[in-house]
Chain A
């Protein structure tokens, strides 16, 4: 029972990490830049959904969509304000990274003002959190929903990038923005759309995270931000499938280091493994070499 339960725990935690890492990976794949404000957008998505439920008594699914939309818009504005001006002036990528850190600090501080720093949650009973009966292990309906959402959104995103015109344009911009622009792709628009999609994914992750753990405060994104970064580096920077695979691997290492070793060693083992993988495969588990990435 113990081992089965730990496997369930690992799958569940993996779906949370994957869901968060998807948006991170999407922005990196198109822009080649880490958006460190992604975790702040995640927080805002969660709180927008929470406000929709608490102040406007909306049902959870509608509130989740509003959270996704709101986070998408914030992410879109983030691109226009924190990234585009720098890119237009040809600033180095590191400047955009620093700019995203500034944006993250601003967004979190604003969230502290608007939503206060106290821990909040969705109203009791708004989500089914009693374990599903009749199983040899404990799993709640919300855990299944998060798992399905993580895999579903990954497949949708993969299809969007590989099979649609928009996806083709995104890949073209990712390969070479200048060439894409010469071929008639509106690069600025593609960047905006990419950020909107990444933001909406962050909003979905934030809302589901808030529902699943029942504990939301403006700093909720900080703890998962570092995990998300680990996940996409491990999976292969900017690789959508890699983000999901990385999420499940990091979660599995965490859970099994607790199950078989000691919880004290959890983070040490995760980061040691990350270090070893980067030593052997700098491009990540299923990442491609820099020159062929698209």
Chain B
């Protein structure tokens, strides 16, 4: 009975929707492809509670503030548009995890049990996600990580999603771009051999380099916590590689770059996610020139949705967005899209809808989830130049 009414209402909504979708400007807008694919919801009404847990204070607050601003921007756009149907809106509830796992758990419990949210965006840090996401999984609430890159995040359960590219998905593109753009034929490898994350990064680098026909002239290892890499780097530099590929954590990135440059190495250093940080650039100064890292997003992308996002974010906050903002903004839109396509506020229906979303244009590029609820979208290869990351391959001209 209810279902029949729903179908009828849905049908009538279908007839109304096109006018809404075409009411938008000619300029591409976020969500327009979903607006075409899914009719405006008919079975939901009022303010739909959605939670967001970010580390707004504490050690990693630099990320959380940016994420909160981006989600707020997305929610404002969604509500102004009436993306979830006329008169309906997302009621976004922000919680601060303060960079602490315990507080992330408390925030998740509050959102899920008391506020009865239909989905949660966050938490910011992977370790917070490992602590707090099981709460959402047990309650059957979608949790969408927008900055968790550690291995195994989505292994926590079928309600756990992320839109932040794990490192293993970024490295192949980084290797391919740097090999083709810089004409690399020989490479030296340096990696931490006692950490899952750095070893898996190394394995992906090695197989991609071998596939590209690059000869490996040296492989060196170090242990987590090491600060002196002079001996390993001396060996690698002595083998005279075109480029040095490094799989290391953030703490090791700075000393590795500095020691390589002090030893007289001037060639490219290609790094994993650990090197993708403005802090690494500011701490190494001009030593970081020629550092190549992959990223999920770069502010100078010419993707029209990305430039529109940069403009809107800068206008709203007075600051240009970073990668975390772009991912958080996309995350909020993904949740809204899942609600729209589910045409329901049922938690399980939203999960199924999110898992089966069609490919969608986002500031991160054409986006979809794979069967493990991990993101699939193009990564961008960046090169550090005078303290900023620029795209290695200009998007206007095709790679030579």
A125 interface hit (Cβ, 8 Å): yes
Residues on the B chain within 8 Å of A130, using CB: 262
A79 interface hit (Cβ, 8 Å): no
**Considering the chains assembled together, what is the distance between the CA atoms of A142 and B143 in angstroms?**
49
Residues on the A chain within 8 Å of B250, using CB: 119
**Considering the chains assembled together, what is the distance between the CA atoms of A131 and B287 in angstroms?**
13
Residues on the B chain within 8 Å of A254, using CB: 231
**A259 with B234: in contact, given A138-B264, A215-B227 (CB under 8 Å)?**
yes
A264 interface hit (Cβ, 8 Å): yes
Identity of the chain B residue whose Cβ is nearest the Cβ of A267 in the assembled complex: B223
- Which of A117, A209, A220, A255 sits near B231, CB closer than 8 Å? A255
Residues B262-304 near A (CB distance < 8 A): 262-264, 279, 282-285
A80 interface hit (Cβ, 8 Å): no
Residues on the A chain within 8 Å of B230, using CB: 9, 12-13, 255
**Are the C-beta atoms of B231 and A223 separated by less than 8 Å?**
no
Tell me the smallest distance from the CB of A143 to a CB of chain B, in Å.
9
**Considering the chains assembled together, what is the distance between the CA atoms of A219 and B222 in angstroms?**
17
A95 interface hit (Cβ, 8 Å): no
A277 interface hit (Cβ, 8 Å): no
Instruction: Encode contact with B along A205-221: 1 for CB under 8 Å, 0 otherwise.
Output: 00001000111010110
Residues on the B chain within 8 Å of A220, using CB: 227
Stretch at the interface among B3-11, B251-259, B348-356, B391-399: B251-259
Residues on the B chain within 8 Å of A179, using CB: none
Tell me the smallest distance from the CB of B286 to a CB of chain A, in Å.
9
A31 interface hit (Cβ, 8 Å): no
Residue from A5, A13, A222 whose CB has the most chain B CB atoms within 10 Å: A5
**Are the C-beta atoms of B254 and A138 separated by less than 8 Å?**
no
Q: Could you tell me the dominant secondary structure of chain B's interface residues?
A: helix
Give the size category of B's interface with A. 20 to 34
**Considering the chains assembled together, what is the distance between the CA atoms of A133 and B284 in angstroms?**
20
**Considering the chains assembled together, what is the distance between the CA atoms of A59 and B228 in angstroms?**
25
Instruction: Encode contact with A along B200-218: 1 for CB under 8 Å, 0 otherwise.
Output: 0000000000000000000
- Which of A1, A213, A263 sits near B222, CB closer than 8 Å? A263
Tell me the smallest distance from the CB of A167 to a CB of chain B, in Å.
33
A109 interface hit (Cβ, 8 Å): no
**Are the C-beta atoms of B264 and A124 separated by less than 8 Å?**
no
**Are the C-beta atoms of B263 and A5 separated by less than 8 Å?**
yes
**Are the C-beta atoms of A263 and B220 separated by less than 8 Å?**
yes
B193 interface hit (Cβ, 8 Å): yes
A283 interface hit (Cβ, 8 Å): no
A258 interface hit (Cβ, 8 Å): yes
**Are the C-beta atoms of A215 and B255 separated by less than 8 Å?**
yes
**A259 with B255: in contact, given A138-B262, A264-B193 (CB under 8 Å)?**
no
Instruction: Encode contact with B along A111-132: 1 for CB under 8 Å, 0 otherwise.
Output: 0000011110100110001110
Identity of the chain A residue whose Cβ is nearest the Cβ of B60 in the assembled complex: A118
**Are the C-beta atoms of B254 and A258 separated by less than 8 Å?**
no
**Are the C-beta atoms of A258 and B285 separated by less than 8 Å?**
no
**A213 with B235: in contact, given A12-B230, A118-B59, A222-B225 (CB under 8 Å)?**
no
**Are the C-beta atoms of A119 and B279 separated by less than 8 Å?**
yes
Identity of the chain A residue whose Cβ is nearest the Cβ of B263 in the assembled complex: A138
Identity of the chain B residue whose Cβ is nearest the Cβ of A256 in the assembled complex: B231
A140 interface hit (Cβ, 8 Å): yes
**Considering the chains assembled together, what is the distance between the CA atoms of A24 and B29 in angstroms?**
64
Residue from B193, B222, B234 whose CB has the most chain A CB atoms within 10 Å: B234
Identity of the chain B residue whose Cβ is nearest the Cβ of A120 in the assembled complex: B283
Residues on the A chain within 8 Å of B284, using CB: 124
**Considering the chains assembled together, what is the distance between the CA atoms of A5 and B235 in angstroms?**
10
A16 interface hit (Cβ, 8 Å): yes
Residues on the A chain within 8 Å of B264, using CB: 131, 138
Residues on the A chain within 8 Å of B345, using CB: none
Tell me the smallest distance from the CB of B274 to a CB of chain A, in Å.
11
B43 interface hit (Cβ, 8 Å): no
A84 interface hit (Cβ, 8 Å): no
Residues on the A chain within 8 Å of B251, using CB: 119, 215, 217
Q: List 10 A-B contacts (CB under 8 A).
A: A13-B231, A129-B262, A215-B252, A219-B225, A220-B227, A222-B225, A258-B220, A259-B234, A263-B231, A264-B221
Q: A10-B231, A215-B227 are in contact. List 11 more A-B contacts (CB 8 A).
A: A5-B234, A16-B228, A121-B254, A129-B262, A130-B262, A131-B263, A140-B262, A214-B254, A215-B254, A219-B225, A262-B221
User: Which residues in A have some Cβ–Cβ distance to B below 8 Å?
Assistant: 1-2, 5-6, 9-10, 12-13, 16, 116-119, 121, 124-125, 129-131, 138, 140, 209, 213-215, 217, 219-220, 222-223, 254-255, 258-259, 262-264, 266-267
User: Which residues in B have some Cβ–Cβ distance to A below 8 Å?
Assistant: 59, 193, 220-223, 225-228, 230-232, 234-235, 238, 250-252, 254-255, 258, 262-264, 279, 282-285
